[in-house]
Amino acid sequence: MGQPVSEAEQQGQRGRRGALIEASVAYDGDSACIARARAFTREFLTRVQAVAGLPVSGRVMGTVPLVVSELVTNAVKYAGGPCLLTLEVDGGSVRATVWDSDPALPVARAADAGRVGQHGLEIVMAVCHAFEVHREPVGKRITAVVALADTPDTDMSPSGT
């Protein structure tokens, strides 16, 4: 359905895994949920800026919805059932996790400029600084992590000041 199932959005409030800001949404697995997941992600990143006052660069505003879109697309295409999207911010990173009911783990293909389609996992792994896949008792959980800042140094003041 695309309704949020849990949110911990108050600055300083910690979610179930200790995230500063966390939001989850369950989808029924129809193809329309891909666009809803992108919109949910953009709204989440906007709340990260407004509620926590954390910087979210233009790169992050474009990259994280792309990553979520690819992960949810794969869940819809290959699992063919419900999926759960969880977004978390903590430690200067956004963690996007998608659970689906298919236990088959994704396999990254070798780069092939001539291949039409099936580049989603390739793209996700290229733009994230961490990527994990875990088999669950039912299905699997895929997590991609993107840094909030464009550089690891969050101190934006000029040197020597």
Q: Helices 120-127 and 58-74, interaxial angle, to 10°?
A: 150
Average pLDDT over residues 33-38: 98
Q: How many CB atoms lie within 10 A of CB 97?
A: 20
Structural tokens at position 77: 């295409």
Residue 123, Cβ density class (10 Å: 0-12 exposed, 13-18 middle, ≥19 buried): middle
Percent of the chain with pLDDT over 70: 77
Residue spans per domain, the chain: 3-107+119-147
**13, 69, 15, 72: which is closest to 42 by C-alpha?**
69
Q: Produce one character per residue of 6-18: b if its CB has 16 or more CB atoms within 10 Å, e if not.
A: ebbbeeeeebeee
pLDDT of residue 93: 94
Q: 57, 85 in Cβ contact below 8 A?
A: no
Confidence of residue 121 (pLDDT cuts 50, 70, 90): confident
Residues in the chain: 161
Q: Does domain 3-107+119-147 have CATH number 3.30.565.10?
A: yes
pLDDT of residue 126: 86
Confidence of residue 1 (pLDDT cuts 50, 70, 90): very low
**Per-residue pLDDT tens over the stretch 11-26:** 344 444 456 899 999 9
Higher local confidence (pLDDT), 23 or 152: 23
> CA–CA separation, 154 vs 8, rounded Å?
24
Higher local confidence (pLDDT), 34 or 7: 34
